[in-house]
Amino acid sequence: MGNRDRDVLFVDGVRVPFGRAGEKGMYWKTRADDLAVKTVRALLERNPSIPRDRYDDIAIAATTQQGDQGLTLGRSVGILAGLPDTVPGLAIDRMCSGAMTAATAMGSGIAFGAYDVAIAGGVEHMGHHPLGEGIDPNPRFVSEKLVSEDALNMGKTAERIHDRFPHLTRERSDRYAMRSQHKAAAAYEEGHIPPDLVPVALESESGWGLASRDETLRPDTDMATLATLSTPFRPHGRVTAGNASGLNDGATACILASSQAVKDFGLEPRMRMVQFAFAGVEPEIMGMGPIPSTEKALRRAGLTIDDIGLFELNEAFAVQVLAFLDHFGIEDDDPAVNRWGGAIAFGHPLASSGVRLMSQLSRQFEAHPEVRYGITALCVGLGQGGTVIWENLNWNGKKHSRAAATGSTPKKGRNK
């Protein structure tokens, strides 16, 4: 499992509360780069034992890198957050897996020995920069039938998964979405989410306020209400605003460090990066991407899906999570999956979401020493998936059985 001297350790992760995109959203008058700066400053303040000149690099991802979300984000955010001029930075774009790619890139540098401490994160202000704004897709994509026009519309790709797997019904998607909302509300009430939230001062017409909670939570969601929602991507379709993530603004950041840096600075890491993988699928069914990326990561790590005790899966659309669960023979309501809810409730500010998954998994590890391995995974536009396998540093050393730990009974995957 690698050279323990070059372990990649997740030390800390934070995010701002996620907001609704658009003029009515709480971050409409807040700059995108300032959201990223808030997260990095919080990390520096929460980890004062790390000298600021010892950070080797900072990678900040964004999908639409223009305006207040441009200018080589890692470098500009690092300077604005108070890192010394000697700390370099870069920007990354792999759409929804931007922050995940930032973390795996920085982690790779640590594993190789080029870095000791690095910051990785992402920001997406979809209110200022809607997905697809200013892009000019090459006409060859469609004229040469390299991809369908539907592949450039994420909602339509989700409808195609429903088409391909008719047993993934709207009712199943709605029920999954309802549970996501309820689990997120419970996680807030139980105090699991606030410890890693960074409050943001807000300017509005009525004066100044403070963002301290995700704006997209709908704890009263019920099946009857979900059934009334329209299907904007197709007449009589199955994807709705209720069983999909919304358009959101937000930022995340985390600290990754080598085992030697952890010793040198007296840090208390939460988990260890075991393996990661990215994979491609047909762009028209981009939501299937996490399946091959997870299979690849498991194969490279010498593990099986039964070794995984906790899952943090990004809920771009309920149907793509259900497709993943069916493929691996996991029940829709398995308590090992998104135990505290997911993006349908919290929001999905594209490039920032990967680190939210990591932070939530690391907190769950603390409460579940019986679980050794967990994964963070998400689908990516234009037909990709990303998966990172993590090891719980609080593992109690006992042999783990996901079925025994969660009380679930594995089922035979339908999509295999």
Catalytic site residue 96?
A: yes
- For residues 179 and 92, what is the distance between their CA atoms, to the nearest angstrom? 33
Number of domains in the chain: 1
Residue 275 lies in a domain: yes
Question: Which two structure tokens, joined as six digits, stand for 324?
Answer: 């993943």
Residue 138 lies in a domain: no
Catalytic residue (one of 96, 128, 162, 327): 96
Q: Residue 401: its pLDDT value, please? A: 54
Q: Residue 126: its pLDDT value, please? A: 97
- For residues 248 and 26, what is the distance between their CA atoms, to the nearest angstrom? 10
Q: Residue 149: its pLDDT value, please? A: 80
Q: Residue 407: its pLDDT value, please? A: 53
Secondary element (H or E) of residue 354: helix 353-367
Residue 399 lies in a domain: no
Q: Residue 142: its pLDDT value, please? A: 85
Mean pLDDT by 10 residues, the chain (416 residues): 74 98 96 98 98 98 96 97 98 97 98 98 97 87 86 92 97 98 98 97 86 96 98 96 97 98 97 98 96 98 98 98 98 98 98 98 97 98 97 88 52 44
What residues make up the domain containing 274?
A: 8-129+146-393
Phi, psi (degrees; rounded to nearest 5) at 381: -55, 155
Residue 136 lies in a domain: no
Residue 416 lies in a domain: no
Catalytic residue (one of 125, 129, 192, 348): 348
Residue 403 lies in a domain: no
Residue-by-residue DSSP string for 51-111: -GGG--EEEEE-SS-SGGG-STHHHHHHHHHT--TTS-EEEE--GGGHHHHHHHHHHHHHH
Residue 282 lies in a domain: yes
Catalytic residue (one of 128, 327, 379, 400): 379
- Domain of 183, CATH number, reads 3.40.47.10
Residue 24 lies in a domain: yes
